[in-house]
């Protein structure tokens, strides 16, 4: 008899426990249970407000548990429309601005003419880091643009088979050169951070519009002017964003990333990348066609003394003072 | 021409996974790739439903829209197929697909993807119908032989229907009318912008 009571007690306890467990379990996706519950895709999509309809799967690939993922439609719209507009406006707009600027201002000359004496601006190591970053950036930029615009602009001209081969090599180049680019950005960050904090000279430089206007007064600058500092910080911060989102895309679904996270990584990678390209086009213009005597600073590493006096007067004085009367200047060859 | 569709009657699916196995066997799908899978909603709770899902062969397919190398094409039967020779394995189709259909063999370390693989509605690929090349790349081409996809043919409860969209919609409507309930044609709203009134 005692045994029977113990048994009943156990059953009652089990039922009570089951009741407690059932009452604390979250409400199911379907409003009502039972075989007659009529819940449709439409109702669930509305209920989840664009969220993923997901459940259990018995296969190892757990992301297969997503039954319907409506966010893909937004991403499709971003990929086929939004990103193309952003990229088109940023890049074509920048090119148009530069053409207008060039027609208006022409190449910015060294006002005092070349002195014939040069001084060291960038060491061999600085130039190596710059060109490492620059060369990989150009390849990454072109292969990236190919993914976004290639189908519309290059494929009709190249044909499907050649375009696919080129794009596949482009993908490998994009993936593997990212490591070299990362090294370049990290070295650039460490190498130039000391000269890129804002100073009072930058405020004045900004007020004078960088001295870029016609007959404009030259604006003060240390080794880097305010515009170059802004570029530096975009390269470092934008570069870091590109590197992080890029590796997330290269190692898909790591760190518990879902498909929505992958889409977000691609959205950031695409937008920042296109703005980055537009900015670097302006940088290339100012470093070549836009300004006399600028390219040689990264080319040979030296600049004309008059160029330094005009564009980076504070840096020039600094170099002169600790260079003991021009020890770091050297005669032209 | 018929407009081919899949329809999974969630009120009939018993999550036996025979469709998954049939697909793998018929198409010699490589390890780690599932062209079809069964998802159970509310597993172990009231209102549990299982739905067998694969590529739905969407009207205006998102995968085709985002593909950077334009590998997708739609057949006369409205089946969405792709050309593996042109695929670069970028993964964009998976991000755009509402049904998680595209699959990638892992070809090396670092999550690098090989050429995309997905359900072909048992209709092969761009190679000659029934050729060895077609079979090796895409699996069986049953449609060319006048047969429907094996997943649906194998289904023990006839939950999974494949075939002309109008015909299978009619079958489903009759079922709903007879038994008095139905949770709708899963995925149809997303894939075809239409639903079957239940």
Q: Which domain holds residue B70?
A: 4-192
Q: Is B124 on the interface with A (CB under 8 A)?
A: no
Name every chain B residue with its beta carbon within 8 A of the beta carbon of A253. 111
pLDDT value at B73 more than 80: yes
Q: Which of A77, A164, A166 should be substituted to probe chain B, the one whose Cβ sees the most B Cβ atoms within 10 Å?
A: A164
Q: Is B180 on the interface with A (CB under 8 A)?
A: yes
pLDDT value at A257 more than 90: no
Q: Decide: residue A135, CB within 10 A, 0-12 exposed, 13-18 middle, 19+ buried.
A: middle
A70: nearest CA partner in chain B: B98
Tell me if B197 is assigned to some domain: no
- Structural domain total, chain B: 1
Tokens standing for residue B72:
């997708």
Res. B2 pLDDT band, cuts 50 70 90: confident
Output the pLDDT for position A138. Answer: 97
pLDDT value at B24 more than 90: yes
Are A251 and B195 an interchain contact pair (Cβ–Cβ within 8 Å)?
Answer: no
pLDDT value at A104 more than 60: yes
Reported ipTM: the value is 0.89
pLDDT value at B84 more than 90: yes
pLDDT value at A32 more than 50: no
List of residues 6+ apart from A233 with CB closer than 8 A: A196
Q: Is A69 on the interface with B (CB under 8 A)?
A: yes
**Helices first, then strands: H and E counts in chain B:** 7, 6
pLDDT value at A19 more than 80: no
Proportion of chain A in helix, strand, coil states, percent, rounded to 5 = 70, 5, 25
Name every chain B residue with its beta carbon within 8 A of the beta carbon of A249. 91
Tell me if B181 is assigned to some domain: yes
Please give the model's pTM, rounded to 2 decimal places: 0.85
Are A76 and B66 an interchain contact pair (Cβ–Cβ within 8 Å)?
Answer: yes
Cα atoms in the 13 Å half-sphere on the side-chain side of A220: 11
Tell me if B165 is assigned to some domain: yes
Rg (CA), chain B: 17
- Per-residue pLDDT, averaged over A161-181, amounts to 95
Interface of A with B in 247-266 (CB under 8 A): 249-254, 259, 262-263, 266
CATH number at residue B37: 3.30.70.20
Average pLDDT, chain A: 86
- Per-residue pLDDT, averaged over B159-183, amounts to 92
Nearest to A55 among B43, B62, B97 (CB): B43
Nearest to A251 among B42, B92, B111 (CB): B111
- CA-to-CA dists, residue A147 to A200, A273, B107, angstroms: 43, 12, 21
Q: What percent of chain A has pLDDT over 70?
A: 85
pLDDT value at A273 more than 70: yes
Name every chain A residue with its beta carbon within 8 A of the beta carbon of B40. 55-57
- Per-residue pLDDT, averaged over A46-56, amounts to 80
Tell me if B88 is assigned to some domain: yes
How far is it, in rounded angstroms, from Cα B161 to Cα B152? 5
Asked if B154 and B19 count as a contact pair (C-beta separation under 8 A), the reply is yes
How far is it, in rounded angstroms, from Cα A266 to Cα A248? 9
Are A61 and B32 an interchain contact pair (Cβ–Cβ within 8 Å)?
Answer: yes
| Sign (positive or negative) of CA dihedral A118, A122, A127, A130 | negative
Tell me if B143 is assigned to some domain: yes
Tokens standing for residue B120:
């072909």
Tokens standing for residue A209:
């519009």
Name every chain A residue with its beta carbon within 8 A of the beta carbon of B36. none
């Amino acid at each position: 008899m005692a045994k029977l009571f113990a048994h009943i007690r156990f059953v009652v306890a089990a039922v009570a426990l089951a009741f407690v467990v059932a009452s604390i379990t979250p409400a199911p996706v379907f409003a009502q249970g039972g075989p007659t519950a009529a819940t449709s895709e439409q109702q669930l999509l509305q209920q989840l407000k664009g969220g993923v309809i997901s459940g259990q799967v018995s296969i190892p690939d757990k992301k297969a548990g997503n039954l319907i993922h409506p966010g893909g439609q937004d991403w499709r719209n971003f990929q086929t429309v939004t990103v193309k507009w952003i990229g088109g406006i940023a890049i074509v707009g920048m090119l148009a601005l530069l053409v207008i600027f060039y027609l208006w201002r022409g190449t910015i000359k060294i006002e005092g003419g070349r002195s014939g004496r040069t001084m060291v601006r960038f060491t061999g190591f600085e130039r190596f880091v710059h060109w490492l970053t620059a060369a990989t950036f150009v390849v990454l930029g072109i292969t990236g643009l190919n993914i976004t615009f290639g189908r519309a602009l290059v494929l009709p001209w190249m044909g499907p088979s050649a375009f696919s081969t080129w794009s596949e090599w482009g993908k490998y180049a994009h993936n593997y050169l990212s490591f070299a680019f990362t090294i370049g950005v990290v070295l650039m960050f460490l190498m130039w951070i000391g000269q890129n904090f804002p100073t009072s000279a930058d405020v004045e430089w900004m007020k004078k519009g960088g001295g870029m206007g016609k007959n404009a007064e030259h604006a003060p600058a240390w080794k880097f002017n305010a515009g170059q500092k802004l570029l530096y910080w975009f390269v470092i911060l934008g570069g870091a964003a590109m590197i992080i989102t890029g590796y997330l895309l290269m190692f898909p679904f790591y760190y518990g990333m879902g498909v929505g996270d992958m889409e977000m990584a691609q959205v950031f990678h695409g937008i920042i990348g296109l703005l980055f390209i537009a900015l670097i086009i302006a940088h290339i213009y100012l470093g070549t066609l836009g300004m006399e005597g600028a390219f040689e600073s990264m080319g040979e590493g030296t600049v004309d003394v008059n160029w330094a006096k005009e564009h980076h007067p504070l840096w020039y004085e600094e170099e002169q003072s600790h260079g003991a009367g021009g020890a770091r200047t050297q005669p032209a060859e | 021409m018929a407009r081919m569709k899949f329809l999974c009657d969630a009120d009939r699916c018993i999550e036996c996974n025979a469709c998954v196995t049939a697909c793998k066997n018929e198409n010699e799908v490589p390890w780690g790739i599932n062209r079809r899978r069964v998802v159970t909603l509310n597993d172990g709770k009231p209102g549990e439903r299982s739905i067998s899902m694969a590529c739905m062969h969407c009207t205006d397919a998102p995968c085709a829209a985002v593909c950077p190398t334009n590998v997708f094409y739609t057949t006369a039967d409205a089946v969405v197929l792709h050309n593996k020779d042109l695929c670069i394995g970028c993964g964009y189709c998976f991000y755009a697909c509402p049904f998680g259909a595209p699959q990638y063999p892992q070809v090396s370390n670092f999550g690098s993807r090989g050429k995309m693989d997905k359900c072909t509605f048992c209709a092969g690929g761009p190679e000659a119908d029934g050729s060895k090349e077609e079979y090796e790349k895409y699996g069986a081409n049953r449609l060319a032989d006048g047969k429907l996809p094996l997943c649906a043919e194998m289904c023990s409860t006839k939950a999974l229907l494949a075939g002309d969209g109008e015909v299978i919609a009619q079958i489903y409507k009759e079922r709903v009318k007879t038994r008095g309930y139905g949770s709708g044609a899963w995925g149809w709203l997303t894939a075809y912008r239409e639903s079957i009134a239940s």
